[in-house]
Chain A
């Protein structure tokens, strides 16, 4: 009943409009727009009789104009405020990243990691001429032995004035001392290699080879073999082109290196050391750990301090039940000895990786000494074993009535801990301690350099792969800072500032890659945007768009009618 008359009316209107009758248009008023509301009489139709149609009176021109103004007022807000705000708040900001350069770093094209190691020779007993000759010969022998271009040993003669002290510029000082036989010893405190030689071993100026030169070269080679192998292993596991790599990395060396890498912790500027005294009974209840650390561990921590910072906490836990109750612990038991559920060993405090050192006071013992092959995996003495990337457990047998563990009783545990700490940090096994530490610094800087480069590469690939991801300015900042420090690190590789730059570069690269606002938008495809916009803006847009369309339609009709009326007038 409702639909019929309305449709008919429309038809009549259309006819009337076609005839050019002087009826104001009402066709464009079917808008739902609440403000542009006009009303019309609802027809009261007699049952069967001819339908009497009642037309609403023509709309006043002022009403039409007012409706246009209303629609205009809404659209002005949408167009003048809504669109700019939409543009401003939803455009994805993509800072410019030097993508190609970043990929170059990741592919190893930007930096060729070269470690020029300077080794000075102190030969105060030799004539200058003789020393020069020996140096030349040794360098030749070294170059013949060396097959890895990234790791380059360069000899130089120390000025005679600088005798007895180690030149900080060079990695190692070789002190040649006349003696009876050819022997070599490492100085325990300074990176100095003392070589004695018999007087007749000095090569003559004309000879093209010398036993002493070959001996020095092979000594040097064996000293740096581990470092060389480690660095070339690092390079080979990263995406460095093969010509930089050493060819002669045998598979078993690589295997042992990979084992060592798994054992050591990921590089962090700070490590947290937790010393725990766990006792199976009520005693002992106190320990002189502070004094013991100061006495036995502090020296090593101090020499490690250019590479790492350490924070330390200690704890005592009485009545600690180990995960295995056996009197004699077998190799299989060692892995389940730690009672992770009950012992208060928090995984990580304050973001720094934690190394746990546990002194367990009880009467348990370890069954049999490990066979050498197994000793590689978990270095175990009869009292302690190392758990890779986690820490060390030391079983300390004490008399039952000991209430206080003195500093001297802690000497052995702490020395064990100290040596394990070095392997946790990834220091090489052989060589004197100062040499090991300087090697550690070089290995770490190479590692950090490679890690930062590969992070840059991942970031570049991510930026290329997801064109809709936003890249905030802080990321671009981080990238440029990373690259600057990488370049500096690459230039000063091998020195202490190289490590510092590599540290900064790695931290910046990680920060840039894990930028919070970027990660949030990682998986936000365009389809989702429809789901975000439609529920609210769809219903709002329907009356707005329909109102505008109707208004435009009505306006065109009015113009046509006006034109027709004008034409008719002219005809008359």
Chain B
């Protein structure tokens, strides 16, 4: 009882701290939110708050928000933000909404951490399970991560996707498959790419079913989950249709992600490639990039079948590198789930290198962008080179984490090898 009270107190303290920090940044440095909103590292064409306001303005004036080709986000954001008092007169409500979304995400992360799924799943229990961080630490790492704070201050709408994905995982580990599927449907509706998380999430749900209503047929379970997702997404589409009055939002939101028609620079690898691409090969390479992104799902799900949460984590990392419009908010989501694997950190080999590379890229990225766009003393290659370095750092981290997890699994098979140096053959 006492422990629960202490936890509750700590939770309240953590949340209050995070909320106060964000509110202070919002109110004490009034120029910062707008500055961050304009940064390409935070606001992509599909998550930008500025574009959301444009869409909102058109929506409130009974013009289709997709006219003008600026707004590429889901239509249901519009009624949500219309309910809030106008941002221009009372920005505090928008700030509070974003802070609340962050806190809710942190709460979901806390629940995932507390479930212990990361150290002992249904089919696998790590020998290092004792060495892990509590939910408090993991939530704190998420809430006080500069990337998370910057995303929140920049009011990128990707925080909603982050929240939905974390809730999907939290629901899955707590044995609520339907809730997980609904949350994933919301995430997919908002950003499309979370749909790729469906296979590992279904496996996670299947592994964590409550014994009293467990199904034994995995195929049937998967079919039910998939149809639940399809149903919820269909309902959301129908709602969007009612809100905007046409199906125009489909090409303007998902079409833009699929065809990369907006080539605004971002931290990802797509924009430069498709600026340079021959027109006649554009559609082919778009397909190649999307297939590349999706090809990891099957392989990883099969390989790390015993730990679906690892697959989800690695996929989030891969998406942060390879999706069409990545931003640092994807990085913050990946970094939010990585601490769940505190127990395999000692097995990772390149933590220093990857951390250094990511830090290097996050310091030099804005500088090179400035040199290119404002100072005019650099060119697009400067910024692209630094996004390559950023991708390199992230992929190092993903590979290293994968290696550590696989090694952890392997040592269960070969306990005599623990602590010895190994080599891939």
Q: Using a CB–CB distance below 8 Å, which chain A residues touch chain B?
A: 6, 26, 29-30, 34-42, 56-57, 66, 69-70, 73-74, 76-78, 81-82, 85-86, 89-90, 470, 517, 520-521, 524, 532, 536-537, 540
Q: Are A37 and B406 in contact (CB under 8 A)?
A: yes
A202–B425 alpha-carbon span in the complex (Å): 116
Q: Are A39 and B424 in contact (CB under 8 A)?
A: yes
A537–B285 alpha-carbon span in the complex (Å): 10
Q: Are B424 and A74 in contact (CB under 8 A)?
A: no
- The chain B residue with its CB closest to the CB of A57 is B414
A76–B292 alpha-carbon span in the complex (Å): 12
Q: Are A39 and B299 in contact (CB under 8 A)?
A: no
B351-393, CB < 8 A from A: none
The binding surface of chain B is classed by DSSP as helix
B10: Cβ under 8 A from any A Cβ: no
**Cross-interface CB contact of A536 among B285, B300, B420, cutoff 8 Å:** B285
Q: Are B402 and A537 in contact (CB under 8 A)?
A: no
Q: Are A42 and B423 in contact (CB under 8 A)?
A: yes
A85–B423 alpha-carbon span in the complex (Å): 38
A195–B403 alpha-carbon span in the complex (Å): 107
Segment at the interface with A among B155-163, B180-188, B275-283: B275-283
A29–B424 alpha-carbon span in the complex (Å): 9
Contacts A26-B425, A40-B422, A532-B281 aside, 5 further interface pairs with beta carbons under 8 A come to A41-B422, A42-B423, A69-B302, A70-B299, A517-B279
**Cross-interface CB contact of B423 among A40, A81, A520, A536, cutoff 8 Å:** A40
B295: Cβ under 8 A from any A Cβ: yes
Q: Are A42 and B422 in contact (CB under 8 A)?
A: yes
- The chain A residue with its CB closest to the CB of B423 is A42
| 3 cross-chain pairs, A with B, having the tightest CB-CB distances, nearest first | A73-B298, A89-B284, A39-B422
0/1 interface trace, chain B 110-123, chain A, CB 8 Å (1 if under): 00000000000000
A40–B399 alpha-carbon span in the complex (Å): 19
Chain B residue numbers with a CB within 8 Å of A76 are 298
A56–B425 alpha-carbon span in the complex (Å): 10
Q: Using a CB–CB distance below 8 Å, which chain B residues touch chain A?
A: 278-281, 283-285, 287-288, 291-292, 294-295, 298-300, 302-303, 305, 399, 402-403, 406-407, 410, 414, 417, 420-425
25 CB contacts below 8 A, A to B, read: A35-B299, A35-B300, A36-B303, A37-B403, A37-B424, A39-B417, A39-B423, A40-B423, A41-B422, A41-B423, A42-B420, A42-B421, A66-B302, A74-B299, A77-B295, A81-B287, A81-B291, A82-B288, A82-B291, A90-B284, A470-B280, A520-B280, A532-B278, A537-B288, A540-B292
Chain A residue numbers with a CB within 8 Å of B417 are 39, 41
Q: Are A73 and B425 in contact (CB under 8 A)?
A: no
- The chain A residue with its CB closest to the CB of B281 is A532
A302–B222 alpha-carbon span in the complex (Å): 77
A39–B413 alpha-carbon span in the complex (Å): 12
> How close is A36's CB to chain B, nearest CB, in angstroms?
8
- The chain B residue with its CB closest to the CB of A77 is B295
> How close is B178's CB to chain A, nearest CB, in angstroms?
27
Chain B residue numbers with a CB within 8 Å of A82 are 287-288, 291
A76–B295 alpha-carbon span in the complex (Å): 9
> How close is A77's CB to chain B, nearest CB, in angstroms?
5
Chain A residue numbers with a CB within 8 Å of B424 are 37-40
Chain A residue numbers with a CB within 8 Å of B402 are 34
> How close is B424's CB to chain A, nearest CB, in angstroms?
6
